[in-house]
């Protein structure tokens, strides 16, 4: 799974850190709104797992709002930086693990797959979604978020900023359209439409809701209770 994994191979550790050091206020607002939305839905007693946690940016933000939080990431470089980044968050942990091979003994109350994680971790098959859902307790929740179509202009601005900082290759403006960002060095990021999210929710067999947040992200929240 590591082959052809741009984030793990080229955009990790300090580079990933710089991705999130954006100067664009609207992008900062998007990143904050995504975290606030999850925080506002937590009671404080949850054991949380974040998939594709990078160096622990979201893990650190949410550590004070839950019982415990574990981030997994496929990149050892991210996890090394993450251990340092999370050193003052005693209930937070970050470990190297591939989302395709989740090996936890205990289930979680909440699983997070944020910041367009379906695209960056290439989570496409219903089988993998099912495996993720198996890691949640009955009555627990899984949050997936992707970009809102209304955010396209700012998303594009953000990726141009990343390319200008040398974090990504130059944007291929002929191929960059309809929610897909393509760079000349092979980077590609897609997004899911609310309809795609609807299909993932429906196929899960559980209750789910789709919610737009801040006109920048769209969440699919699967509640692990059987739909009526």
Report, in Å, the least distance between residue 190 CB and ligand SAM. Answer: 12
Determine, following the binding rule CB under 6 A, whether residue 114 of this chain makes contact with ligand SAM: yes
Residue 214's CB: how many other CB atoms inside 10 A? 17
Report, in Å, the least distance between residue 172 CB and ligand SAM. Answer: 19
Residues 171-200 that bind ligand SAM (CB under 6 A): none
In the complex with ligand SAM, which residue's Cβ is closer, 15 or 138? 15
CA distances from 154 to 6, 27, 30, 57, 145 (A): 22, 7, 10, 20, 17
Q: Which residues contact 195 (CB under 8 A, 6 or more apart)?
A: none
Measured CA to CA, the distance from residue 30 to residue 37 in angstroms comes to 11
| C-beta of residue 34 within 8 angstroms of C-beta of residue 171 | no
| C-beta of residue 42 within 8 angstroms of C-beta of residue 62 | yes
Residues in the chain: 228
Report the DSSP pairing between strands 136-147 and 108-113. parallel
Q: What backbone torsions phi and psi does residue 161 show, to the nearest 5 degrees?
A: -60, -45
Determine, following the binding rule CB under 6 A, whether residue 120 of this chain makes contact with ligand SAM: yes
Q: Which of 22, 61, 85, 115 binds ligand SAM (CB under 6 A)?
A: 115
Quick note: the x/- pattern for ligand SAM over 83-102, rule CB under 6 A, is ---------------xxx--
**Binding segment (CB under 6 A) for ligand SAM, from list 48-56, 127-135, 141-149, 194-202:** 48-56
Measured CA to CA, the distance from residue 182 to residue 119 in angstroms comes to 13
Determine, following the binding rule CB under 6 A, whether residue 75 of this chain makes contact with ligand SAM: yes
In the complex with ligand SAM, which residue's Cβ is closer, 187 or 206? 187
Report which DSSP code applies to 100: G
Query: 108 is written with which tokens?
Result: 């979680």
**Binding segment (CB under 6 A) for ligand SAM, from list 50-58, 103-111, 135-143, 159-167:** 50-58
In the complex with ligand SAM, which residue's Cβ is closer, 36 or 227? 36
Report, in Å, the least distance between residue 227 CB and ligand SAM. Answer: 28
Determine, following the binding rule CB under 6 A, whether residue 73 of this chain makes contact with ligand SAM: yes
Residues that bind ligand SAM (CB under 6 A): 1, 5, 7-8, 12, 16, 52-54, 57-58, 72-75, 78, 98-100, 114-115, 120-121
């Amino acid at each position: 799974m590591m082959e052809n994994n741009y984030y793990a191979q080229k955009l990790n550790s300090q580079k990933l850190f710089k991705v999130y050091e954006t100067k664009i206020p609207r992008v900062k607002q998007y990143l904050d709104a995504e975290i606030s939305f999850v925080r506002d839905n937590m009671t404080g007693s949850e054991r949380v797992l974040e998939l594709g946690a990078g160096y622990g940016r979201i893990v650190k933000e949410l550590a004070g709002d839950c019982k415990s939080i574990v981030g997994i990431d496929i990149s050892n470089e991210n996890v090394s930086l993450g251990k340092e980044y999370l050193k003052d968050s005693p209930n937070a942990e970050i470990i190297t693990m591939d989302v395709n091979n989740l090996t936890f003994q205990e289930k979680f109350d909440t699983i997070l797959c944020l910041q367009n994680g379906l695209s960056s971790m290439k989570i496409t098959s219903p089988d993998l979604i099912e495996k993720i859902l198996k890691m949640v307790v009955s009555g627990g929740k899984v949050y997936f978020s992707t970009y809102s179509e209304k955010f396209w202009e700012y998303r594009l601005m953000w990726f141009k900023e990343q390319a200008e900082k040398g974090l990504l290759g130059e944007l291929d403006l002929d191929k960059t359209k309809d929610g897909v960002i393509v760079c000349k060095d092979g980077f590609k990021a897609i997004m899911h439409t609310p309809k795609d999210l609807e299909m993932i929710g429906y196929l899960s067999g559980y209750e789910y809701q789709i919610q737009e947040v801040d006109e920048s992200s769209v969440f699919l929240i699967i509640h692990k209770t059987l739909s009526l």
